[in-house]
Structure 1
Amino acid sequence: MTSPHAAAKSLILIAAVAAALASCNRKAEEEAAAPVAIPAAPTAGATAASPLAYDSKNAFASVKLTLPEALKTQPELHKSLYDNSVADLKTFVEGAQADRTEFGGDGGMPPYEKVVQYEGAVDTGKLFGLLGNAYEYTGGAHGNPGYLAVLWDKALKRRIDVNALLKPGADRAALDRMLCAALNVEKRKRDPQAVLLTLNGADWKCPHLSETVVGLAASTTPGKAGGLTVLIGPYVAGPYAEGGYEIDLPQSALRPLLNPAYADEFAGAPVKRAD
């Protein structure tokens, strides 16, 4: 027969177990009711992982990329431009190594070199544009300079070309004539005795717009493009020693040819890039 003392101890133990179980149940209920923490979705600025510069060199080649601070406002373009440019520079380095080791040595040649620099950001309501310079040396007496341009539709979040800025059926021949006339003005500024070019010259001739690099020109009106900047490299409109040309076509002259979807992005007069 169980003693009164033992029975009391059993009752106390049962009560303690019940209280512990009740406490565990309350804790489980509270945890179930608590909101689950969800990691915050990355913001547009999360592409800060894309740097504004890349610099690498070894015994075979030296490469460098520089991007402007303004590019951070367009994270998708920033990432794409950085990734693609770096991939291109790495391919250049691999090619340099292959070239210079193929025949068992490089004969004391200096390393190859490639430098890419984007600048001249133009930011309008719908458009973002960059102009760029490139330099490449792969041996010989001198390196080869070149030009680059980026046109970005901010709403569509994709790159476009100059044809998108022109209305369907725009008179391309008129654009070519406009470019040729502006190019001749610049040539005469450098040399008052320079022979004027035509679109059908025998030796040197004016390039067609489609044969050039075209970007947005900065404007005297904030938040607008002043026109188009046409970049013409050496050897295109004259000998290497003459160098390249940077021609601004003002929006006032281009307006009849502009696509209505982008016409409001242009105003004011072009502002030349600093040398």
Structure 2
Amino acid sequence: MTRSLLTLSAAAFVLAACMQGEEVGPPQLSETRAAETASLPANLGSPAMEITNESFEGRAVVDPQIAAFDPQLAGQLMARAQEALEEMNASASRDQAEWAAAVEEGETGYTFRPYEMEVRHHAISQADGFISVQQDIYLNSGGAHPNYFLGGALYGVEGGGPVPITAIVADPALFGARLKAGLVEAKIDRGYEESARGYVEEQVEEYLGDDAVAGSEWANSYILNPSTEEGRFGGITVLFSPYDVGPYAEGSYEITIPAAELEGLLTPAWAARFGGEPVLPPKEE
């Protein structure tokens, strides 16, 4: 399954994900991140589109940098976000009406709470006629906890894209092996005991499949990092939403492979576009 939130119906995707049950972590996991509301990126300006009523509050924002790069792309992203909000708004309205009818009949013991959804598209980097875009979706539909989803895609000037990762990476299997190794290290850093490394490696293998699948299908939700060298990209970050590669309590993962580690992995058309060190956002404390 190729993962790109930027090319799917976001509302359908998040609704399906919300129906998943909580997965119980193994005993080797000494600490997990609290299942709390994810922080969305810093405000990019006034919402370009907003829906507010008694059953739903939703907003969508497209980074002005995307509109400056390609107004048509910005319009397409906003149209998809608007469709997702409208679908969620309709769902919230139906669910509130069903709840009210059940209350009238004395058949429910829960309280309906208005749904919330926010969709943000923001520019991560831009060089040589390409722009890397990340999509963040926040959703609260009254479940045990809110959910959030990450997606990334690359676009060329004048409607080119999204660009598949296989257009950039010449050896998906080797790239996938490095991606899986990075995910294992990220899980160990996040709280698994070092003694659980074997279990974590098996877990990552089960989630991502063989190296070629990991480096093509799973890696297809990615962003290109800004670089310390002007006019180049500093690395590739593959994005994993909660539930993709572990229980919700582990949160999301962003696995970065710097430009220096991409040497020999890139297609001829892309090798010269990478260099320097990746410029990453500061880690949250």
| CA RMSD, Structure 1 to Structure 2 (Å) | 2.5
Larger Rg: 1
Aligned with residue 60 of structure 2, among 59, 65, 70: 65
- 2:113 is matched with which residue: 110, 114, 119? 110
Distance 2:256 2:147 in 1: 23
Q: Are the aligned partners of 2:123 and 2:131 in contact in 1 as well (CA < 8 Å)?
A: no
Distance 2:270 2:242 in 1: 31
Matching of residues 68-217 of structure 1 within 5 Å: 68-73=63-68, 74-102=70-98, 104=101, 107-154=110-157, 157-167=160-170, 170=171, 172-191=172-191, 193=193, 195-196=196-197, 197-198=200-201, 200-201=202-203, 205=207, 208-209=214-215, 210-211=217-218, 213-217=221-225
TM superposition shift of 1:175: 1.5
Identity %: 26
* Deviations 1:88-111 (CA, angstroms, capped at 9, x unpaired): 211221122123324525852211
Structure 1 letter corresponding to 2:277: A
Question: Is 1:271 aligned with 2:279?
Answer: yes
Q: Does the CA contact (< 8 Å) of 1:227 and 1:270 recur in 2?
A: yes
Q: Distance in 2 between matches of 1:156 and 1:261?
A: 19
Distance 1:270 1:254, change over 3 A: same
Q: Secondary structure at the match of 2:186?
A: helix
The aligned length equals 221
- Label 1:225 to 1:140 Cα distance change in 2 as closer, same or farther (>3 A): same
In structure 2, the partner of 1:54 is 49
Unaligned runs of 5+ in 1: 1-50
Render the CA deviation track for 1:6-42: whole Å, top value 9, x for unaligned. xxxxxxxxxxxxxxxxxxxxxxxxxxxxxxxxxxxxx
CA contact (8 A) 1:162 1:215 kept: no
Paired residue for 2:247? 239
Contact 2:65–2:123 (CA under 8 A) maintained in structure 1: no
- Higher relative contact order (Cα pairs below 8 Å, separated by 6+ residues): 2
Where does residue 227 of structure 1 map in the other structure? Answer: 235
Distance 1:98 1:273 in 2: 40
Supply the distance in 1 between the matched residues of 2:163 and 2:205 (Cα, whole angstroms): 33
Q: What is the CA-CA distance between 1:204 and the residue it aligns to?
A: 6.6
The residue identity in structure 2 corresponding to 1:181 is A
Shift in CA distance, 176/157, structure 1 to aligned 2, threshold 3 Å: closer
TM-score after normalising by structure 2: 0.69
State TM-score, norm by structure 1.
0.71
8 A contact 2:180–2:205 mirrored in 1? no
Change (3 A) 1:263 1:52: farther
CA contact (8 A) 2:204 2:245 kept: no
Residues 122-170 of structure 1: CA deviation (Å, up to 9, x unaligned): 1011311111221112222101111021210115534222222233xx2
1:259 is displaced (CA, Å) by 2.2
